[in-house]
Amino acid sequence: MAYFSKHYHSPGTAPGTLIVRGAAAQPLSINLIDYTEAGVEEHQLDSPEQCRSFLEHDSRTWVQVNGEVNPDMLRNLGAVFNLHDLALEDVINTGQRPKVELYDNQVFIITTMPVYDGTRLELVQVSLFMGKNYLICLCPLAEDPFEPVRKRMRQTSNVRFATRGIDYLLYALLDLIVDAGFPVLEQFGDQLEDLEAELLERPSQQTLSSIHRLKRELLILRRVLWPQREVITTLMRGEDEFIHTETLVYFRDCHDHSIQIMELLESFRDMATSMLDIYLSSISQRTNETMRVLTIIATIFIPLTFIAGVYGMNFHNPASPWAMPELGWYYGYPMVWAIMISVTVTLVWFFKRRKWM
């Protein structure tokens, strides 16, 4: 993952300019759900213009756009729902910081949903527009992640969507986006456990690379999830006319989930940092153990080398009073070996007694 993933226009570009770089990566689909207390209607649309007839009904409308949007489609959607140009620009320029913008008779929200497959962390920008009786959700993923919410709406026993305003649907989508962080952090937690076991057994260069990658992903995740908590806090204040008092308790629950995610994230970041220290300590400990073994071996062979060196000089002259008499002894060679073995055994016993080996 790149350190800088935000799409942006060239400096000096007019505000509200809609430009897409490259071809669309995911196919585009528009799903509409129109619901009242009487029931739920689902429609597959070909263009945003088909939404106009539903806005005239006394119902609540959810427009779900999945895939990579193009400027023409986004302009048509903005014309139908009277969306602000700056908000449309933020939709098409992904990588925005999570935020809440209040426009005339409209609320614009940018959130980030983390998606993790075990090897690559993807941060998906989800853009939401909420009006008096409609909600527009734009998600660049081809597969709709909000199918669980749609499934709850289809259940006749679930009357909360039917009896409450469009703000409850906004809560349901935000709650799913926030809770998407739990399975991601669960996978990070499993990786931390594996790395911890690897650190205690046999750390390697690959272990260090995994720790650095994990720290980087946790840092990027924190950068987007921290302002997302501020988004929920802003909606809890009830400054917008579309957020009803009876729905604030659900937003408070969503806020609690965001706090739990941030606490887990901070704990995992601390664990990753401590693992780096453990890795360095482990490598240092392994180096010290290796040096200790080599030192013990060298210490044992120093007196043996001295003995072998002394008796290897071969100064043997029977006429000289300073000659080595041991060189002429019958048991001289076994005697030298006995001395060497005795020295080795004594040194090993001494090292073990001092717990150096």
204-243 per-position pLDDT tens digit: 888 888 888 888 899 889 988 889 989 999 888 866 677 8
The tokens describing 278, both together, are 């453990």
Query: CA 69 to CA 92: how far, in whole Å?
Result: 7
pLDDT of residue 128: 95
> What is the model's pLDDT at position 315?
67
Question: Dihedral sign, CA of 78, 84, 85, 90?
Answer: negative
Q: What is the predicted pLDDT for the residue at 254?
A: 93
Integer Cα distance of 173 and 262 in angstroms: 19
Q: What superfamily would CATH give domain 29-282?
A: CorA soluble domain-like (3.30.460.20)
**CB neighbours of residue 57 within 10 Å:** 12
Non-local CB neighbours of 276 within 8 Å, separated by 6+ positions? 208, 211, 212, 215
pTM above 0.85, yes or no: no
Q: Is 33 exposed, middle or buried (0-12, 13-18, 19+ CB in 10 A)?
A: buried
CA atoms within a 13 Å half-sphere pointing along the CA-CB vector of 298: 6
Domain boundaries, the chain: 29-282, 311-353
In 3D, which of 85, 92, 51, 86 has the Cα closest to residue 71?
92
> Nearest Cα to 153, choosing from 227, 87, 218, 60?
60
Say what the pLDDT of residue 132 is: 86
Helices 181-201/166-179 angle, 10° precision: 10
Q: Which amino acid is at 193?
A: E
Written as six digits, the tokens of 239 are: 């400054």
In this prediction, residue 3 carries a pLDDT of 40
Would the CA dihedral through 157, 161, 164, 168 be positive or negative? Answer: positive
Q: State mean pLDDT over 71-86.
A: 91
